[in-house]
Amino acid sequence: MGHQTVWAEASPGGGNMPASILVVDDEVTLRYFLERSLRDQGYETLSAGTVADALDLVYTRQIDCALLDQHLPDGVGFDVLRALKEVDADLPIIVLTGYGSLDSVKTAFRYGVFDYLTKPPDLVELKRLVGQALQSVDMRRAVRRHQAAPSPPSADLVMGRNRTMREIVRLVQRVAVQSTNVLIQGESGTGKDVVANLVHRLSPRAERKFVAINCAAIPDHLLESELFGYEAGAFTGARRQKKGLIEEADKGTLFLDEIGAMRPDLQAKLLRVLESREFRRLGGTTDIRVDVRLVSATNRDLQAAVAAGEFREDLYWRLSVIPIHLPPLRERLEDIDLLIAKFISEFARLFGKEIHGVAPEALQALHSHHWPGNIRELRNVIERAAILCDGPELTTAHLPSDLMTSPPRPQVVGRSDSPQLPPTGLDLKSVVADLELDLIHQALERAGGNQTLAAQLLHISRDELRYRLKKYNKAQSEP
């Protein structure tokens, strides 16, 4: 990519961009037929024969409408449908059905499908349905823009291309249907709340409550009564009976955020609930049965806490039947453009501004930052920039100054010039040495020959820099 401008949300039918239709069917001839018919009508098409290929497109491409077969070699059309709805809840989906069986069609409509088309598809019918579908999405998107309300955080998940992230979402899709406990770990701002929400929304419990509590934000003694509830007279001030959050979450999902902060005796009580599926309110004498799905999260290294004797090992294993480690943003930089575009759309809409992208220099700065606060930090930066921005593009003037001066992330060269391994292979050591020397020279040049500054630019000590220079000088002077 030569031109580094990120554009926010391309409008579907609007503007002069042709709408892009995704066709997912494992029958090659049918796919070909559908694609050709759609292209003849001026649409752009994307196609896939498997769930895996379809998901690749869903997470990386702009899609305005999708035609989905139900039976695919590696899964079912609904796997793709769920992903499509995650990316864009308004996206119209047309299900291709072989038998037109009433049951599957009913299920389809329950999942918010636009319509269905029986196979072999009739061209006139195809044209009509796609036309209507695109009109409907235009309308719904327009309505949304006018509402100018921030969408709930749960609707916000951007998956992107990052392999780890996509594996996580696939894992979530698979385990959501069971009631298995899920433990989400990751640095602050990596999206633990967002993923916890996703687990709930993709589960059969979605219609029941999602009850969340932050264990670190509540004093220990209150946490216990919040979780377990109490009977009248259980303690001074307990005038009447109160249900706890565990009970509130019955048949739904209980999200225990910052579980690492939970006091040991409460850990023991929680373990008992998980093992017996029963608990007592404080001051109560009867056991109450509950059916909760527990999702917990922490930015502490829980295994280390277990090793240090600060967290119960038996509880740890109970919680982490499905462990999820969210990658920090600096390890999923391939998704940063997508996230930026998403946040620009969000805030432009919210503030009623026409912001379409990021100027190349500002984008460069965003790419170079370390993002210790991860996605939350990125979102805040874009929010602030959108407030300050009065033109069509975010520029460096809209970015916080510390972002402009922060040392570049150790990304060696622009993506476009990433070195290619020649067919005959190469001498790794000498290539790396050349690159290193080249970067050292660049750093020295930029630092005006000042070795301390140059070392800072390279994130090494001055001694380390000297040592390397000496090594190369020596190598060069040797025969």
| Interface residues toward ligand ATP, by CB under 6 A | 153, 156-158, 186, 188-194, 299, 339, 375-376, 379
Nearer to Mg ion, 372 or 407 (CB): 372
Residues at the interface with Mg ion (CB under 5 A)? 192-193
Q: Give the whole-angstrom CA distance, residue 184 versus residue 325.
A: 6
Give the β-pairing of 210-214 and 253-257. parallel
Give the one entry of ligand ATP, Mg ion, none that residue 186 binds, where binding means its C-beta sits below a cut-off of 5 to 8 angstroms depending on kind.
ligand ATP
What does 253 interact with, of Mg ion, ligand ATP, none (CB < 5 to 8 A by kind)? Answer: none
Extract the runs of DSSP E, i.e. beta strands, from 119-260: 182-185, 210-214, 229-230, 242-243, 253-257
Choose from ligand ATP, Mg ion, none: what does 190 bind? Cβ within 5-8 Å by kind. ligand ATP
Answer whether 435's CB lies under 8 Å from 411's CB. Answer: no
Q: Which is closer to Mg ion, CB of 193 or CB of 248?
A: 193
Q: Which does 14 bind (CB under 5 to 8 A by kind): Mg ion, ligand ATP, none?
A: none
Four-point Cα dihedral 124, 101, 71, 195, nearest 10:
100
Judge contact between 151 and 346, C-beta under 8 A: yes
Instruction: Return the amino acid letter for 410.
Output: P
Kindly state the helix (H) or strand (E) to which residue 47 belongs, with its residue range.
strand 44-48
Question: Which residue's CB is nearer to Mg ion, number 82 or number 192?
Answer: 192
Query: Nearest distance from residue 332's CB to ligand ATP, in Å?
Result: 9
Element (H, E) at 118: strand 115-118
Q: Which residue is nearest to Mg ion (CB)?
A: 193
* Residue 79 or 156 with smaller CB distance to ligand ATP: 156
260 binds, among ligand ATP, Mg ion, none (CB under 5 to 8 A by kind): none
Which residue number, 130 or 378, has a Cβ lying nearer to ligand ATP?
378
Q: Assign 212 to helix, strand or coil.
A: strand
Nearest-angstrom CA–CA distance, 66 and 130: 9
Query: Smallest gap, in angstroms, from Cβ of residue 161 to Mg ion?
Result: 24
Residue 257 Cβ vs Mg ion, minimum distance, rounded to whole Å: 5
Q: Closest approach of Cβ 445 to ligand ATP, in Å? A: 38
CB 248: neighbour CB atoms within 10 A? 18
| Contacted by 442, from Mg ion, ligand ATP, none: CB < 5 to 8 Å by type | none
CB of 383 to ligand ATP, least distance (A): 9
The pair of three-digit structure tokens given for residue 379, joined into one six-digit string:
């979102």
Burial class (CB in 10 A: 0-12, 13-18, 19+), 42: exposed
Q: How far is the CB of 297 from ligand ATP (least distance, A)?
A: 6
Question: Of 158 and 246, which has the nearer Cβ to ligand ATP?
Answer: 158
Query: For residue 339, what are its two tokens?
Result: 């996230």
Residue 115 or 193 with smaller CB distance to Mg ion: 193
Contact 206, 200 (CB under 8 A): yes
Which tokens hold the place of 77?
């059309």
Q: Taking CB within 5 to 8 Å according to partner kind, which of ligand ATP, Mg ion, none is near residue 299?
A: ligand ATP
Rounded to a whole number of angstroms, the minimum distance from the CB of residue 113 to Mg ion is 33
Q: Which does 218 bind (CB under 5 to 8 A by kind): ligand ATP, Mg ion, none?
A: none
Q: Which is nearer to Mg ion, 20 or 298 (CB)?
A: 298
Helical packing angle, 360-368 and 374-388, nearest 10°? 160
Yes or no: say if 473 and 445 are a contact pair by the CB < 8 Å rule: no
> Whole-number minimum distance, CB 108 to ligand ATP, in Å?
27
